[in-house]
């Protein structure tokens, strides 16, 4: 049976949505603004109906681009954004105090040129504020009609359950792909138990399972992957050997590596949606082309055995980032 559309806060969306970050930040030189708008328009044309952005991405640039692209098209897209995480140069921080949540939302609404955001996330957990207090402030915004639902990002199953005791949590967003499995420790099950959609970011492994990285030394200086241990000189050769085997499986099945990775992610539960990002229309089209492909169990098991927490070398984040992540981790 093919995969069907999946619900987030009761709204059915394509299980392959669009992560918009790479149009503004993180993976080297960003596309020009006109090219970015053209990509977002094309996404809507070919069936993307879930856009994911954040205040962090390009320090407002991403939300502004999405806002321009959605003029006259707002009703076609389930729109998600995030607040609470900021970065300027080497300075990073988290702020989910109630007053900050409200003020950041007002900025996002202005940049997105809308009067409501369908799904509004805390980008990271603020350990200086009880999660119940932050969720309570977001619940006020739901009652005011400024946001449709509350989401959490990179948080633990325990945090999710505490948050859900205050107000229903529509979505948990966490990195998930064959080579990043922390969500399998507890969060995936907690989401299923609570009726919370699980939104997988980086479902093609930071581009690795999409033929996007051949030699990390060639990545641009401002590409965040340069700071990630899996791409360093010690770990990359071992990881590349896994990628080559993965690519061979995809070729044997007549699909692209990214299509195989996305199908694997979606096969892990009917409460899961994926939001691959790209700055290229060809990749945009490739990622959604097989959105309803139901991966055969034997093929899913083959991928699972090849690339997993035991076979991948290196942590997904640099040591300095780990204190900002609330998600459970492997010992």
Query: Which residues are tagged catalytic?
Result: 57
Q: Give the span between the Cα atoms of 141 and 139, in whole angstroms.
A: 5
**Nearest C-alpha neighbor of 147 from the set 113, 172, 121, 126:** 121
Q: Give the span between the Cα atoms of 143 and 164, in whole angstroms.
A: 16
- The residue count for the chain: 331
240 in Cβ contact with 230 (< 8 Å) = no
CA 226 from chain centre, in angstroms, equals: 19
Stated as kind and residue range, the H or E segment containing 93 is strand 91-94
Round to the nearest angstrom and report the end-to-end CA distance of the chain: 37
**Helix axes 33-45 and 281-289, enclosed angle (nearest 10):** 20
Any idea what DSSP says for residue 12? E
205 in Cβ contact with 190 (< 8 Å) = no
Q: Give the span between the Cα atoms of 188 and 182, in whole angstroms.
A: 9
Q: Give the span between the Cα atoms of 296 and 294, in whole angstroms.
A: 6
Any idea what DSSP says for residue 138? H
Provide the b/e sequence for 69-106 (b: ≥16 CB within 10 Å).
bbeeebeebbbbbbbbbbeeeeeeebbbeeebbbebbe
């Amino acid at each position: 049976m093919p995969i069907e559309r999946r619900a987030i806060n009761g709204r059915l969306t394509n299980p392959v949505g669009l992560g918009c970050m790479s149009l503004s930040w993180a993976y080297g030189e960003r596309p020009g603004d006109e090219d970015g708008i053209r990509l977002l328009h094309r996404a809507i044309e070919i069936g993307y109906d879930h856009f994911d952005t954040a205040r962090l991405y390009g320090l407002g640039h991403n939300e502004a681009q999405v806002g321009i692209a959605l003029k006259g098209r707002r009703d076609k897209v389930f729109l998600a954004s995030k607040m609470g995480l900021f970065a300027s140069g080497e300075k990073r921080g988290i702020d989910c105090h109630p007053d900050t949540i409200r003020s950041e939302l007002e900025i996002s609404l202005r940049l997105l040129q809308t009067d409501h955001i369908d799904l509004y996330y805390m980008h990271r957990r603020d350990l200086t504020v009880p999660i119940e207090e932050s969720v309570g402030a977001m619940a006020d915004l739901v009652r005011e009609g400024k946001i449709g639902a509350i989401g959490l990002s990179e948080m633990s199953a325990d945090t999710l359950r505490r948050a859900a005791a205050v107000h229903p949590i529509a979505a948990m967003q966490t990195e998930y792909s064959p080579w990043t499995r922390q969500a399998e420790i507890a969060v995936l099950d907690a989401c299923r138990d609570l009726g919370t959609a699980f939104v997988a970011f980086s479902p093609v492994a930071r581009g690795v399972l999409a033929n996007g990285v051949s030699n990390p030394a060639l990545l641009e200086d401002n590409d965040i992957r340069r700071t990630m241990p899996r791409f360093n000189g010690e770990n990359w050769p071992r990881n590349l050997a896994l990628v080559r085997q993965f690519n061979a499986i995809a070729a044997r099945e007549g699909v692209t590596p990214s299509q195989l990775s996305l199908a694997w992610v979606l096969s892990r539960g009917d409460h899961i949606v994926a939001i691959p990002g790209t700055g290229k229309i060809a990749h945009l089209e490739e990622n959604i082309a097989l959105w309803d492909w139901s991966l055969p169990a034997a093929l899913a098991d083959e991928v699972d055995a090849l690339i997993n927490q035991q076979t991948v070398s290196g942590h997904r984040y640099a040591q300095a980032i780990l204190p900002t992540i609330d998600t459970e981790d492997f010992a």
